[in-house]
Amino acid sequence: MSTNSPLDAGPLKVWIERDGALLRLRLAKPKANIVDAAMIAALQGAFDAHRGNAAHRTSAVQHRAVLVDAEGPHFSFGASVEEHLAERCAGMLASLHALLLAMLEWPVPILVAVKGQCLGGGLELAMGGSLIFAAADAKLGQPEIQLGVFAPAASCLLPPRIGQAAAEDLLLSGRSIGADEALRLGLVQSVSADAEAAALAYFDQYLAGKSASSLACAVAAVRGGYLLRVRRRIAEVERLYLTRLMQTRDANEGLAAFIAKRPPKWEHK
């Protein structure tokens, strides 16, 4: 196995290992690893830069997978609340959703290793991948409703993963779940003391020896209809968020209250 030294791309570290077979992306803005504009741009840039090594194009080196993980005790606290404010949220949603669709279209599996808090936009990012490997201390959830808003991407990505009823529970309550419950629901692939090691072991056992071009065809086959539905639904929920939710008083109050570190005062309108 050969390992290249990580390269810093702002809030992201990028390197290649396993003799060029595995692209590593590491969120590197601990402890929160906020999925803000800078993080989204760094991730999008990394995927764009390495697309020539993906299996759908001719290259001397072809990746068989990507592994996304994070520095520090937490995977991500979520998206930037400031970037959700009315005057900025359109651009934030467009860039995040473009990143997630690029991940869903990626021609080889994307493995994600999470630990600590994996919330909001952080969980949406994780669900842009193929399989999520959780550390025993992981807490996963979509708490947006507690701020008076909802999670657009998660509204599209969570129901196919865990079923409609379980997804509605998490999206409407805003509660977080532990790794064991996430495993029971099918949200994560495994729970272990070291999620990164578990993801690497999965890669070594199940993906490293595969043909990159065959993996690309398999990914396209299994995701075809799913990707079409997600693309359509993300556009629909993005419009709902911008043209209806953000026109309400309570959505703006919830975000302002969070930033001011005070309880929100709902007027139900």
Q: How far apart are CA 249 and CA 268, in angstroms?
A: 8
Q: How far apart are CA 23 and CA 203, in angstroms?
A: 11
**pLDDT one-digit tens code per residue, 162-202:** 999 999 999 999 999 999 999 999 999 999 999 999 999 99
Instruction: Tell me: pLDDT of 57 over 50.
Output: no
Mean pLDDT of 4-28: 88
Beta strands in 80-211 (DSSP E): 110-114, 117-119, 131-135, 139-141, 176-178, 190-192
Instruction: Tell me: pLDDT of 214 over 60.
Output: yes
SS3 at position 57: coil
Annotated catalytic residue 168: no
Instruction: Tell me: pLDDT of 116 over 80.
Output: yes
Annotated catalytic residue 144: yes
The two structure tokens encoding residue 81: 């609340």
- Burial label for 227, CB within 10 Å (0-12, 13-18, 19+), is middle
**What does DSSP assign to residue 229?**
H
Active-site option among 83, 124, 196, 238: 124
Residue 8 pLDDT:
67
Query: How many residues does this entry show for the chain?
Result: 269
Nearest to 124 by CA among 91, 161, 87: 161
Q: Which residues are paired to 224 by β-bridges?
A: none
Domains of the chain: which residue ranges? 7-212
Residue with tokens 């209806």: 244
Residue with tokens 């086959």: 221
The two structure tokens encoding residue 138: 């992981």
CATH of 7-212, picked from 3.90.1150.10, 3.40.50.1980, 3.90.226.10, 3.40.190.290, is 3.90.226.10
Residue with tokens 């595995």: 22
Active-site option among 82, 87, 105, 144: 144
